[in-house]
Amino acid sequence: MTVAATIRIQEADFDIAREIAALTEGRTDIGAVVSFSGICRGSENGDPIAALTLEHYPGMAEAEIRRHAEEATSRWPLTGLTVVHRVGRITPGENIVLVLAASAHRQAAFQAAEFLMDYLKASAPFWKRGETAKGTDWVEARDHDDAAAARWTKS
């Protein structure tokens, strides 16, 4: 069964409840929706953050996310999938990313959502610049994010 995945990269904020409603409207085959929303923190390692600016390569980012969404739907019995990722300047408390995974049962939805978030955090083609009182710096990848994503690699 082909699962329709909604994938959007946008500057505008999103409404989580509206996204869940759009995913589930008129559906009786969905028994679970797992949602993950990433929010901009106000500090990193004790240093206040004024904002994050996220950039992406249009077209490439969407294609890469779609490729991983297709992998998720081939690995788990999903009935729906939504990924929304913001770009541009995002201030503390604002939404950054949303992953919704729907399935007849919760376990598949949880695993698919976690798989997609691990990919988005470690490997998705986004570049993040943090603003602090000291200025702006590109945010480097973290080893623990890479390790989390690596556990999903098929051997």
What is d(CA 115, CA 106) in angstroms, rounded to the nearest whole number?
14
Please name the helix (run of DSSP H) or strand (run of DSSP E) that holds residue 46, with its range, or none. none
32 assigned to some structural domain: yes
- Looking at residue 155, what is its pLDDT? 47
Per residue in 68-127, pLDDT (tens digit) is: 999 999 999 999 999 999 999 999 999 999 999 999 999 999 999 999 999 998 888 899
* CATH number, domain with residue 62: 3.90.1170.40
Task: Give 4-45 pLDDT, tens digit per residue.
Answer: 899 999 999 999 999 999 999 999 999 999 999 999 999 887
Q: Which of 40, 16, 139, 42 is nearest to 89 (CA)?
A: 40
Number of domains in the chain: 1
Which residue segment(s) compose the domain that 36 sits in? 5-150
Q: Would residue 155 count as lying in a domain?
A: no
Token pair of 131 as six digits: 């603003």
